[in-house]
A and B are shown apart, each in its own frame.
Chain A
């Protein structure tokens, strides 16, 4: 019981400090320039849908990043479609809690209640992100 209280306190403190269900859209180590704007030159549609959901008490900040990285996935898709793209333009990012996200979140909330917060160490819910990008040359 004392361990459970301690775990809950740490969880609440971690949430208070870092916020939760964070999704990060960034590009690291890309060989081609990636812009944010309207792709006018050679637009080719590419969408990437990713699930997020595994939470870690040690790494609350990235809890939703554990199962996927929407931006690199979208870039890879664009580059596959376009061959050697000279550049990529991201025009829109959509995010939502869809049907399966809702079900997963409801399930994890129920688990969380039943286990007095212990399950938040493992699961916390999910959101779906879709990145629309195009080739720009």
Chain B
């Protein structure tokens, strides 16, 4: 009984102190002047992008297991002098994410990161 109380106190304390489900979308490794959230003037649209990555955590979001990699999602569309415009990044808990988190009682949680935009030249 005492062990359970100590464990639950430690869990709540760590959640309060550390925060949980920390997620970072970093532009490291994304080439400079290639990706824009805005519309580029005079650019010709070649296609659209839609990439989904999954951020995962262990132990109720306290320990990050996998973080999104923006460069991996975007760099494949930046061949030659191609650029990306109207970039939109969304993070959400999809149905699958919710079901997995619920089934594992939060021991394993995940959140989807979706990149969309237009490839232009």
Interface positions of A (Cβ within 8 A of B): 15-16, 19-27, 30, 32-38, 40, 71, 90-99, 101-102, 127
| Choice from B23, B40, B90 contacting A96 with Cβ under 8 Å | B23
What's the minimum C-beta distance from B60 to chain A, rounded to whole angstroms?
10
Q: Contact between B22 and A22 (Cβ–Cβ < 8 Å)?
A: no
Q: Contact between A71 and B91 (Cβ–Cβ < 8 Å)?
A: no
Interface positions of B (Cβ within 8 A of A): 15-17, 19-28, 30-38, 40, 61, 70, 74, 86-95, 97-98, 112
Q: Contact between B28 and A33 (Cβ–Cβ < 8 Å)?
A: no
| Choice from B19, B20, B30, B93 contacting A36 with Cβ under 8 Å | B30
Q: Contact between A36 and B87 (Cβ–Cβ < 8 Å)?
A: yes
What's the minimum C-beta distance from B39 to chain A, rounded to whole angstroms?
9
CA distance A17 to B49 in the complex (A): 21
When distances are taken between beta carbons in the complex, the residues of chain B under 8 Å from A40 are 32
A-B contact pairs, 23 of them (CB 8 A): A16-B95, A20-B93, A22-B90, A22-B93, A23-B91, A24-B89, A27-B38, A30-B38, A33-B36, A33-B38, A34-B37, A36-B35, A37-B35, A94-B25, A96-B19, A96-B23, A97-B19, A97-B61, A98-B19, A101-B19, A102-B16, A102-B19, A127-B21
Q: Contact between B24 and A94 (Cβ–Cβ < 8 Å)?
A: yes
What's the minimum C-beta distance from A11 to chain B, rounded to whole angstroms?
12
When distances are taken between beta carbons in the complex, the residues of chain B under 8 Å from A102 are 15-16, 19-20
CA distance A93 to B23 in the complex (A): 8
When distances are taken between beta carbons in the complex, the residues of chain B under 8 Å from A26 are 37, 86-89
| Choice from B17, B27, B112 contacting A92 with Cβ under 8 Å | B27
CA distance A30 to B41 in the complex (A): 13
What's the minimum C-beta distance from B69 to chain A, rounded to whole angstroms?
13
CA distance A37 to B37 in the complex (A): 11
Minimal Cβ-Cβ distance residue in B for A34: B37
